[in-house]
A and B are shown apart, each in its own frame.
Chain A
Amino acid sequence: MNEFEKQFTEVRELLKFDDHALVIKRIIDFTLDTGQIDFYKKTATFLDWLDANSTGIDIKQKLDALLDDLYTYLSTKPLGDRNKILEAIDLKKAYSPAAFALGPVNIELYEGDIIGLVGENGNGKTTLLRLLCGELFGTSGTLNYSFRYKDHYDLRTKLVYIPQRTDTWRGSMFENLVFTAAMYGYSPEENHLVVQLTIARLGLRKYRNHKWKDLSSGYKMRFELARMLLRKPKVLLIDEPLANLDILAQQTVLEDFRAIAKSPFRPLGIILSSQQLYEVEKASDQVIFLKNGVQKNLYDAEAQQTHLVIEFESEWSQSTLTTTLSDLGLVSLQFNGGTYIATFNDAVTAHSFLQLVTERQIPLAYFRNISNSTRRFFVS
């Protein structure tokens, strides 16, 4: 079963469980994968029908029919390759000899990959993103892009960087996206269709005629993502996309990132920075932790974390907890920002920790195993 068939099966499952919202999103993804104006029209017609019949009983049947059509077409379409897009080797950036320096950083990004960038404020996340998108040049090291481009301008058209604070735009959202689609070569016949589908994909259908000042910061971010989708970049670099989103929206956006990045026909590489560690770790194939500009990878074959590291909250004092947990082979107990970080030796498992907690009736408000999370880098 190839990647498309795997994803298609997942969508069928979602439809079985009546998760229509998610199914519609994936149908839009598949529709855009076809690149055919007939499919754009079909899906756009369905969306217009849905606006008027949101509680209709035959939604499922229509979705099913659409999926069948899409499967018929896409099952014969060759899949996109997962080529390497960029490689940074010992890349460094120093603004001045005495100031903060980022690097050396080593990154390999492939199509379909999501790399998360985490770290405390001021440790080089934005600098790294700006380096990778060409906005800054490296002081030393190399940065290679594995696709063809005519000049630096052409290169930067293929690297979309969405900063934390996006620029103001004028006119309505729809008008701006139509302009973008026109600049990216969509023919007049397909321009409005593609824009409508992209707007629907990102949940912006109700806001298409809104202006910049009428949108919340979360929807402004979604607008930027919609514009990015139309630009069909090789790499998407995005700085703190989850910053202004509620918890539900964060998960939705991350899910969108996964779907977009891992498209079977139009994969792209995404590098995003965020402070939402766990959400990013769930969605990313690799997480890079930056501290004082120095890189640490979460998934590093050479340095696999073997110690158990637990983050928890408890009413007990640090000394009481230290005494109690020493029986389990506690190596260190740190109090960090309202929670405890306990490191145990190799033999201890999360199960044995929970057993001890139950036995000794340690009051536990919160518990998380961060042995394989960048959270542990924040304290080490």
Chain B
Amino acid sequence: MIAITLIINVLFFCVGYADGAIDFTDTSQWSYDDTTFVVTVYAFFIALLVFIVWLVYYFRHNAYKSFYPQSNYSLYKEWCVIALVCVLNCSYSASYLFAKDLRARSYFSEAEFSRRADVLSMASLFIAGDLSDYSYYNKPFKPAYNTTQDSVLYNGKPYALSSLLNKPIKSYSYQNHEKDSLNERRIKNWLVANRKDSVLWVMKEFEKIAAEHGLKGNISTAKWMALVYQYPEFNSPIAVDGIEKVIYEGYDDISTDTTEIAVAPSNIDKEQDTLSYRVQMVNGQKELYSKYYVPGKQLHASYGKISEAWVSPDLNEESALIYLYFGLMTSLAIFSFRVTSGKNWLIALVGTGIMGILTGIIGIVGSSFEVYGILWIFITLASILYFIAICYNGSGKSISGIVLNNVLWLTPWLIPLVYMTTTSIARRNDQYDYMNYESSFAKTLTDYSNIMMYGNLVLVVIYMYFLTVSIKKWKGIAEA
């Protein structure tokens, strides 16, 4: 079964790896893609099917229930196998998502990607885009906005609002805020210092990157330089766009009597900027083309995807925890069924559900998570202590068969419960301080919550050994 789940994981990995290929000619970073949803649904149903088939065969023989000879660690070995199967079986979509991000990250090393992102960011200054402060925008083709000033200061020197010194660079999520600011500062300082060679280097690197991906503009680097580099004001009237054909944003497909198409206000400027753009009528539809363009939009979109794969992959620390804990709890549900009985398992499930409802009501009445958390901590500890008492008491099992299910299900959550309850108490105390801040203690607890959850997993694996040894001994106790 481990082999089967591994093979299925590999298959999903391969699908994810194939699906994660980046189309460097695509201009949209956030295009709608339902592949992930479809794969997730498939993963769910395949996992369910595999579970059912596996359990049908697995439940056929139970050496433990039949009192066949077993070593002290047999049950632990059995649980480890169950846990491995469960985690693997629940991880098909995780394999897909991981592979998808891995594919995006595999194009370059992290250091190389960082270098390219910096180049593309700096080069974006010379590609048409919005200026820094739109409220100060005052293009001659549009009715003037109420402006408070008609220039912007950079290093103490005034520049026109339409100057490159008033234009932000495009950034990527991979670059943090400081890096982004540094890059902008760097390129603008080159402009101010008239470092043409440095600016030319950026443009040449940009061209190199574009050529690697089979992309090209309609101007050479030298032409690009000539069009936009106008020292000392950098207020060139000609815009070099990031794409040949401008896509209308907010296009609402309304035709008037004169077949004039309503366009979004942001493109009116481009339509009227005859130096940089040309309008073409194709089949009665107006199309807008850049006279001068470089493949900035495609590169920004595709490198944006790679950046997301580095910074916020679909499978990250938090989501991996979900898969691991889901696999763990499934394994404990199966294991508890194995070592107790169907009847006890069901009674425990119903009992836990009822306790959940009651503690929830008490928590709501008490208006705090802490009450809820403390109640469940108490229930868990009481179950553990009762089971230990039965193991060492020597008399009959009584209801320990039911309680054992609770011990197996609840004990993995004991430390997280204590942790979360403590965090909640710490935060509540912060509020009582009327300073509206998160104390260092509460912040530390929040910051280390992932580590706590991963550490808890390790603890579960360790304590399960001792618990399974006790369960084996418990089995030998008389029923009544």
Q: Point out residues on A near B: beta carbons under 8 Å.
A: 95, 134-137, 151-157, 169-171, 176, 179-180, 183-185, 231
Contacts and interface: CB of A to CB of B under 8 A. Distances in A.
A165 B479 CA distance: 17
Contacts of B70: 153
B448 interface: no
A136 B69 contact: no
A262 to B, nearest CB: 25
Contact of A136 (B63, B472, B473, B478): B478
6 contacts: A135-B479, A151-B472, A153-B67, A153-B473, A179-B63, A184-B69
A156 B476 contact: yes
Interface residues of B, number: 20
Nearest to B61: A179
Nearest to B475: A153
B473 A176 contact: no
A135 B478 contact: yes
A136 to B, nearest CB: 5
- Of listed B59, B395, B475, B478, residue having the most chain A CB within 10 A: B478
Contact of A137 (B68, B395, B473): B395
B67 A184 contact: no
Nearest to A230: B68
Contacts of A179: 61, 63
A180 B394 CA distance: 29
Q: Nearest 4 A-B pairs (CB), nearest first? A: A152-B476, A153-B476, A137-B478, A183-B68
A112 B193 CA distance: 107
A270 B226 CA distance: 105
B476 A155 contact: yes
B107 to A, nearest CB: 51
A137 B69 CA distance: 21
A185 B395 CA distance: 31
A25 B69 CA distance: 28
Interface of B: 59-61, 63, 66-70, 394-396, 472-473, 475-480
Contacts of B59: 170
A70 B477 CA distance: 42
A180 B66 CA distance: 10
Contact of A153 (B61, B472, B479, B480): B472
A137 B396 contact: yes
Contacts of B476: 134, 151-156
Contacts of B478: 134-137
A184 B68 contact: yes
A152 B473 contact: yes
Given A137-B480, A171-B60, 11 more contacts: A151-B472, A151-B473, A151-B476, A153-B476, A154-B69, A155-B476, A157-B69, A169-B60, A170-B61, A184-B68, A231-B68
B67 A170 contact: no
A156 B472 CA distance: 11
B70 to A, nearest CB: 8
Contacts of B67: 153, 156-157
A164 B67 CA distance: 18
B68 A170 contact: no
Contacts of A137: 394-396, 478, 480
A157 B396 contact: no
A297 B68 CA distance: 33
A86 to B, nearest CB: 15
Contacts of B63: 179, 183
A134 B394 CA distance: 12
A168 to B, nearest CB: 10
Given A180-B68, A183-B68, A136 B475 contact: no
A103 B59 CA distance: 39
B64 to A, nearest CB: 9
A136 B61 contact: no
B382 to A, nearest CB: 24
Contacts of B60: 169-171
A183 B69 contact: yes
Contacts of B61: 170-171, 176, 179
Nearest to A95: B480
A136 B68 contact: no
A185 B63 CA distance: 13
Nearest to A176: B61
B470 to A, nearest CB: 11
- Of listed A137, A169, A171, A180, residue having the most chain B CB within 10 A: A137
A232 to B, nearest CB: 10
A128 to B, nearest CB: 14
Contacts of B479: 135-136
B479 to A, nearest CB: 5
B346 to A, nearest CB: 18
A179 B477 CA distance: 25
A136 B480 contact: yes
A156 B63 CA distance: 13
Nearest to A231: B68
Nearest to B69: A157
Nearest to A159: B67
A231 B66 CA distance: 11
Contacts of B394: 137
B464 to A, nearest CB: 18
Nearest to B64: A153
A215 to B, nearest CB: 16
A56 to B, nearest CB: 38
Given A137-B395, A137-B396, A176-B61, A152 B69 contact: no
A189 B479 CA distance: 38
A108 B389 CA distance: 33
Contacts of A156: 67, 475-476
